[in-house]
Structure 1
C-alpha cells in the first residue's frame, strides 16, 4: 500500500512554496520526524519532517519547483504514522507549531445573528483566514464553516471561492460598507520586448510576499507621516562604551535596539499606535504586549523578524536577541514564529546611508518608524549662560508613518516627541525602561 504526502497548510495564509532542497530519494527508509525536504515560503524557510515511518517509493518534486498546499510531494511504500493519528491530519511538527488560534463565537458563521444596533457580529475566523477571504473577494458571512463551534477555516474560504460567486443577498449594505476592499488588480502591461531586449525574473518567495503585503497596506491604510530629529550624541557615546562588552555576550548593540526601547516607552503612553483596526467588526484592537518587528536587509529580500516583549527585557537582552534575529534572517533560517505577532515595526535605513524616508505600514499594524543615518550637524542651543551657540551634534532623522483611521496627527506628534526625548536621555532610558 502506498501513502501520499502532500504539502500541508502551514498557516498564515501561505498557499504555496518553493522547494529548496530534497533530502530523500526513492528507496530510502525514513522514520517519523526525519527531514524530508526544505520549503521556502513567502514567510520563511521551513523544514518539512516525515509524518510516516516507511520507505520512500517516489519523490515528485525537485529543488526549484513551486508546490501548492495539497500537492503530492512524496509517496511512501507502506508508510504508517508512529502515532495513533490519521495520516490526513497536519502531522508535521511545523504545522502544529504554526496553527493560529482564533476567537470562537457562540453562533455559527453560516447563520449570523443581528445585534440590537442592527449589525451582525464578526464571523469567527483567524486573521490569516480573514486576509485570504479579502484576497479572494469572499464574504465570510456566506461561507459554510467546518471548524469547531462555527470557526471558518482557510479551506472553507478556498472551497467557497471555487464554488462560484456568493449570492448578492448574502451581504447586506450595513456590513459591506465597512468591509475592506481587496487590493486593486494591476492592469495588463504592454509587451516591453517590442522596444528592446528584456530579462524575466519570476516573482517568488520574499519578493512576492513583499509585493503583495505592500500593495495590501497601501490600498487599505490611509498613510500619514510625521518627521522628527533626535540628538543622539550622548546615546552614541553610550553605545560605543558598551558595544564591545555586549558583543562578548553574543549581542549587537545598535541604535535600532535603543529605538525599540524608546518606541515602546512612547507606545505605552499612546496605545493607538500599538493597535489594529478591525473594519469587519467595527472595533479597534489594543494589544497589551509589545513585540517590535525589525526590518533586516537579507540576501532573500526584506525580512521583518520580531523582537518579543521589548518592554520586559533589558537593553543587553534585546541586543542579544537582535543579533540572533539578524543572523538567522541573513542565513535564511528565520522561523515562521519569528515573523509573527509584531505590534509595531522599525526600519533603519541608516546602515546603508539613508536619510528621511516615509516607510509603508506593515499591515495590519497601525504604525512604523523609519530611521535614517545619524550625522553631525551644526545645532543652535543655549550655552551655560543661556545665550545661543552653534555646536556640532549627532542628529538622527526619524519618520513615523501611521494609520489615520486610528490616530490623529496631534497624537503622532506627541508620540514622536516622546521617542525623541527618550533617545536624547539614554541614562533615563537605561534606568527606567
Structure 2
C-alpha cells in the first residue's frame, strides 16, 4: 500500500488518498468529500480490509457539533437520542465507502469478529469460502490473519501448503493421506546448498495465487489435449493489409483467433459451459466473454474481454491493447478478471510447436496457440508453401469427449483458414 497524502494536506473530493495493491491489480481510494487531513490511520506497507479507517478528515464547510444530549433520568434504560443529529467535522474515510457521517470513529465500539459472525462460524467472505471448498479445505481449521481474525485467500493457500509439506491435512476434522488425499509421497526436502552455490528468490503474489489455482485445476480436471493446424496464409496477408491501413492500432493475430473461437463456441455450445458445484449439471452460457492470458513481469494473468461476438476486429484490437497494458501495470479491476467463458493462451510471439494449456476452471476448455511456420502442403497437383498455425485445445473430459473436441478443433481451423467465414 502507498499513502498519497499527509497530515495537514487540503484535499478535494475524489482526490486519491492511498493506492491499494491486491493479488493482481492496484486501485486508488478517493476522498468522498473535500477537507483537511487531521490524522492518518495507515502507513506505507499496511494491509487493509474493507471497513478499515484510512484517515480522519476535517470536512470543508462543516462545524463540529456537541454530543447528543442524554435521555431524562426518569428513563435510564433509553439510549441517548438527539432530535436532529448535526454533522461533525471529523469523519472516518473508509475504502470504497462514503463516511458514516453522524457517528465519529472514536465513538464506535472496537471491531469484534464475533459480533458479525457469532459462535464458532469462521469469519470469511463467500469468495474465500468457495476457494476453500474448491481446494477441499475445512475452513474451520484455518486461522485468519486479517483484521478481527478474518480469513483471507492467503490463509487458505498457506494452510494447504503447510498441510502438503507435513504430509497430511484435516478435511472435515479427519486426516487424509499425504498429497491431499491423492496418496502421493511427501514433497522431498533437500538441502541444495550442500551441492553448490544457491540463491533464494521468493515467488510473486501472482505466482503464489495462480500456482494454487493451476495445481487444483490440473489435479481435479481430467485433461485431454487435441492438436490441429490452421492454414492462415490468406488471413495473415489480410491482417497485414488491414494493419497498414490502421497504423495507429496493433492488429495482432489474436483478434482473429478470438472471433474464430466465438464462431466455434456458437457451433458447439457445450464448450461455452461450466459444470455446477455438484458436478451433475451443465450450465450453458448465452454470452461470449473470452479470457486472454497475458504475460507480465510478476506472472501470468487472464483478463476477460466481454461480448466478443458484438465487436469488430478494430474494436477488439483497441480493447486488447488497453487491457494488456493494464495487466502489465497491475491496474486490472475485479470485473476485468472474471466472467470468462473460454480462454486463449498464445505463445505465437515466442515460439514452440505445441503445448498443453491447463483449463481455467470453471471453464471447460482452453486454446493454446503456438508459432506459425511455413510448411509444404499438397494441393492436389504439387507441394505449395503455406503458413500453418499450430492449435492445442485442452478440454475437460467429463464434459467433452474426444470426437466433439476434434470437430471443434477442425471447425476452428476452417474458420481461420477462410476469413470470409468470420463474417458469417
SS in 2 for 1:351: coil
Matched, 1:396 2:392: no
Q: How far is 1:279 from its partner?
A: 3.3
In the other structure, the counterpart of 1:273 is 271
CA distance in 1, matches of 2:136, 2:151: 12
Q: How far is 1:49 from its partner?
A: 2.8
SS in 1 for 2:17: strand
Question: Relative to 1, partners in 2 of residues 1:377 and 1:157: Cα closer, same or farther, differing over 3 Å?
Answer: closer
In the other structure, the counterpart of 2:197 is 197
Question: Relative to 1, partners in 2 of residues 1:265 and 1:25: Cα closer, same or farther, differing over 3 Å?
Answer: same
CA RMSD across the alignment: 4.0
Matched, 1:375 2:404: no
Question: Contact 1:246–1:319 (CA<8 Å) still a contact in 2?
Answer: no
Q: How far is 1:419 from its partner?
A: 0.3
Higher RCO, 1 vs 2 (CA within 8 Å, ≥6 residues apart): 1
Matched, 1:222 2:202: no
Question: Relative to 1, partners in 2 of residues 1:325 and 1:70: Cα closer, same or farther, differing over 3 Å?
Answer: closer
CA distance in 1, matches of 2:342, 2:200: 35
Question: Relative to 1, partners in 2 of residues 1:166 and 1:232: Cα closer, same or farther, differing over 3 Å?
Answer: closer
Question: Relative to 1, partners in 2 of residues 1:131 and 1:381: Cα closer, same or farther, differing over 3 Å?
Answer: same
In the other structure, the counterpart of 2:73 is none
In the other structure, the counterpart of 2:244 is 244
Question: Contact 1:230–1:397 (CA<8 Å) still a contact in 2?
Answer: yes
SS in 2 for 1:353: coil
Runs (5+) with no aligned partner, structure 2: 63-86, 99-124, 141-148, 160-169, 175-179
In the other structure, the counterpart of 1:40 is 21
Question: Relative to 1, partners in 2 of residues 1:405 and 1:378: Cα closer, same or farther, differing over 3 Å?
Answer: same
Question: Contact 1:252–1:322 (CA<8 Å) still a contact in 2?
Answer: no
Question: Contact 2:54–2:92 (CA<8 Å) still a contact in 1?
Answer: no
- Report the TM-score when normalising by structure 1: 0.69
| 1:347-400 deviations in Å (ceiling 9; x for gaps) | 1101012321111111221111000111101111214xxxxx111000010000
SS in 2 for 1:363: coil
Question: Relative to 1, partners in 2 of residues 1:281 and 1:358: Cα closer, same or farther, differing over 3 Å?
Answer: closer
SS in 2 for 1:33: coil
Question: Relative to 1, partners in 2 of residues 1:302 and 1:415: Cα closer, same or farther, differing over 3 Å?
Answer: same
Q: How far is 1:156 from its partner?
A: 9.0
Question: Contact 1:42–1:204 (CA<8 Å) still a contact in 2?
Answer: no
| 1:16-63 deviations in Å (ceiling 9; x for gaps) | xxx2x321233434455331222222221222334675525235432x
Superposition pairs for residues 18-417 of structure 1, below 5 Å?
19=1, 21-30=2-11, 33-50=14-31, 54-58=36-40, 60-62=42-44, 65=45, 67=47, 69=49, 74-76=54-56, 91-92=96-97, 129-135=129-135, 137-138=137-138, 187=187, 189-248=189-248, 251-280=249-278, 282-383=280-381, 389-417=382-410
CA distance in 1, matches of 2:311, 2:23: 30
| 1:48-104 deviations in Å (ceiling 9; x for gaps) | 334675525235432xx3626369674436689x9x9x96976349xxxxxxxxxxx
Question: Contact 1:33–1:92 (CA<8 Å) still a contact in 2?
Answer: no
Question: Contact 1:60–1:74 (CA<8 Å) still a contact in 2?
Answer: yes
Question: Contact 1:51–1:91 (CA<8 Å) still a contact in 2?
Answer: no
Question: Relative to 1, partners in 2 of residues 1:73 and 1:187: Cα closer, same or farther, differing over 3 Å?
Answer: farther
SS in 2 for 1:256: helix
SS in 2 for 1:247: coil
**Number of residues of Structure 1 aligned to a counterpart in Structure 2:** 348
SS in 2 for 1:197: coil
CA distance in 2, matches of 1:210, 1:293: 15
CA distance in 2, matches of 1:134, 1:47: 31
Question: Contact 1:232–1:396 (CA<8 Å) still a contact in 2?
Answer: yes
Question: Relative to 1, partners in 2 of residues 1:323 and 1:88: Cα closer, same or farther, differing over 3 Å?
Answer: closer
In the other structure, the counterpart of 2:412 is 419
